Structure 1
């Protein structure tokens, strides 16, 4: 599906920065639509896209390296305001006749800049302020027409600008929260320099997406794989609002869903929203398929392949289906190493949303969420009228509990994990609800964003009563995050952790130990497999 862009939007050039998607996100936080584009996009193509502004991301390379990301110099002559960060400042300098040098001392983390003279993007910020740096190279000589607007003890050009050409740049990262006045800098650029309006709201987004879906689909039919998770649920509600009963949702039950999950999907979509729903009971087929399989990627491949077999067997029985709607979001694309954003992300794991069509089968794709982060999807779901229990439901992987069971998936292990996981979710649902009542925020900095149980393929010694036991441990994983790109382990109160541990050991047969995972992402991923 072609992206339906608002009339005003910001193009973010991706030079391979770890913060590239974060830049796009920060712009959208200010209610201006933004979109990631490849850094080597041509001046002609960017002219056709007609962005209101351009932001050049940072990047890990040296601007003088043979394989350094490059950009079309002519873009600086298009009259479009440009703001560069880190590598973006360096490549702007080199392309326009300045010089970049390798400093004797790098700057990593907090640094203090001192303003020099007037600056449109630093307007209204203090003369000295804390910013976030991450560099060894730095601009040594600014291009003709530019003035230096701030420095640090290490960096002679912490920021520079040529106001006459609307070209601005910083060596630091305004998009990172650690830059104290980063939001003000972005606001100065977007609203002061570019004259944009903060009018990209959820109501406008829904109207735009609904109209785009109607234009693309026409009188054709659409099929959607509905898991009951946030992404597929929001797509189902959005597409159903656009085309009504032209949409059919297929719920493939592979038997590895969380306790009570199939019943909730039926309740919300069949009874509340009256969406045409086909419930495929494939539990026994999946159990046979996974017998003896221990490798996590093999599990994913088998589950994904069988999913498409189940899904397309239903699709082929429906007449006139031309489109497949998917709940693909930004983190899916990035972690799967796809190049939709023009980036060069490494493949971390396969993803069920991005598995190719089986041979001989084709549907045109509708992916209305592929430029949204998770919390934006949740906000969209609220505006669409989905129930809170579904919108604020934590993410759940397509392969389900199969990748939260380390080793072979067996009926015994599934029963243990379903019951343990239900306790984790029940206790932390209640914990989050208490925080909501106290703070009035669903996503307060202390709440858990995702939480679940993992069953490792080991047993440990324990004592219950007067008897020695040799049973399974359960790992509890709870993290704080907003978009799944990064996450930190949740600093749960000891009494909450203790209650979870006690309940699991007391109520779940076959478990004698509970441990808590305290690893952030990175270096770990949120999931274990």
Structure 2
């Protein structure tokens, strides 16, 4: 599929996915592979370059991730990052030792700008360090191209053998000119042309699906989320009416969301496919009656989703393929290279094993979230769907503390709708996720001359790049005040509005 490939050899670093994303941002296709991949397999992939990731270990411990030093002889350019740089030094006869001073955080590095890696980079550049070991002595044939006050070899290279190493993390945002360095490695050292573009990915994938499916029948569980929507549209463009999308509305979606999904995928939408919407709200509410424990709620919602999907699938009969909106981070997290580990679909409690199908199609399995969004726009999916906020599979079921009832769903839907409307009106930007949740707390209030005893709604908004950590968003007070006034006045059953200003950690982004 791709003429150019850069391999990211994973030694257990926390930024392995990020390195691949940064490479792809330069329009060069990158794949993350485990360090246990054999040299034969690596050579067979014919990569233009290899990047060694960081990792938490020490190179001289016996059980640390390692690689045979013959990899340095195959003539493919290699860039070692952090642990990867130490491994290169150690394997090629340099010295790695415990650093007298551990460096962590933003650090100024002085670099040799005549190096191909540092072309156009400032002579003193700010980078992100995170290490307790360091390269005490570079291997023979290597030139030191970067240092800090505490780190004699912050960068080194053997230009003749196209081996480069940096002790810092160029892939993270805190390394100010890190992306320029990665770009230099890809284009100056690996001589990539940068021919990997989303439009060609979309075209190629549609053609491949068409060829694979032939005249077969395809079934897709559509949640209305970004991943399943993009996967469904790709299939629709490839095989049209051979695709049936089943959309289970469990009554726990945001306000009007079920109708929005139907408007795009239903009979009046732009796509040629079979669309089945199952309005199963009452079934879900009755199953959830009296249940207050968060995990129990998740399980019930997941299982009931499968039951409903199963009933619809039986009506359709045997299909050849089942579509899943699995994306690359899921593939990496569920075990690199073990494609058999199929994650439970984010809206399905587990894989529907009763559905009679031959094979799974996962058209997005090599894409990161931001790339899925680009593919969505490329396919002509409306922006409001493509940039919709992440939404948990159990939906509002985990944004209602305690028992879920139809009335509580109405409260949280209406409050959330007002909140999102006012955020959009005020043009607040940079929010990773924001929503209203319904607490289980009731308190006394005054409405007119009457005392009330009603619920408190909590508003949440966070800023985050990766959803692993998140900071509470500082929304302007006048916006919050307008939202609070509107919710109390317009949503029956609420007399108090709270703003959650906890970061993650210690809190999670969702409430349950």
Shared fold (TM-score, shorter chain, > 0.5): yes
1: distance between equivalents of 2:318 and 2:207? 21
How many residue pairs get aligned? The number is 507
Q: 1:256 to 1:372 in 2, by over 3 A?
A: same
Q: 1:141 to 1:108 in 2, by over 3 A?
A: same
1:492 aligns with 2:492: no
Give, in angstroms, the shift of residue 63 of structure 1. 2.4
Aligned to 2:431: 448
CA contact (8 A) 1:374 1:482 kept: no
1: distance between equivalents of 2:336 and 2:306? 22
2: distance between equivalents of 1:353 and 1:474? 28
Structure 2 residue matching 1:148: 3-state secondary structure: strand
Q: Show structure 2 runs of 5+ residues with no match.
A: none
CA contact (8 A) 1:14 1:38 kept: yes
Tell me whether 207-216 or 395-404 shows the greater mean CA deviation.
207-216
Structure 1 residue matching 2:223: 3-state secondary structure: coil
2: distance between equivalents of 1:353 and 1:35? 27
Aligned to 1:142: 138
Give, in angstroms, the shift of residue 368 of structure 1. 1.7
**1:420-439 alignment to 2 at 5 Å?**
420-431=415-426, 434=427
Q: Which of 60, 71, 85 is residue 67 of structure 2 equivalent to?
A: 71
Aligned to 1:279: 277
Q: 1:299 to 1:70 in 2, by over 3 A?
A: farther
2: distance between equivalents of 1:473 and 1:166? 62
Q: Show structure 1 runs of 5+ residues with no match.
A: 436-445
**1:124-523 alignment to 2 at 5 Å?**
124-270=120-266, 271-274=268-271, 275-333=273-331, 337-340=333-336, 351-352=346-347, 355-358=350-353, 362-431=357-426, 434=427, 446-523=429-506
Q: 1:525 to 1:146 in 2, by over 3 A?
A: farther
CA contact (8 A) 1:39 1:69 kept: yes
Structure 2 residue matching 1:121: 3-state secondary structure: helix
1:9 aligns with 2:18: no
1:98 aligns with 2:94: yes
CA contact (8 A) 1:428 1:448 kept: no
Aligned to 1:441: none
Structure 1 residue matching 2:195: 3-state secondary structure: coil
1: distance between equivalents of 2:292 and 2:301? 13
Structure 2 residue matching 1:321: 3-state secondary structure: coil
CA contact (8 A) 1:374 1:484 kept: no
Tell me whether 72-81 or 484-493 shows the greater mean CA deviation.
484-493
1: distance between equivalents of 2:382 and 2:12? 38
2: distance between equivalents of 1:146 and 1:211? 47
Structure 2 residue matching 1:456: 3-state secondary structure: strand
C-alpha distance after superposition, 1:354-404 (max 9, x if no partner)? 823436855522112223232222221111111122122212111111011
C-alpha distance after superposition, 1:14-67 (max 9, x if no partner)? 222221111111111111111111122111111222222111111222223444
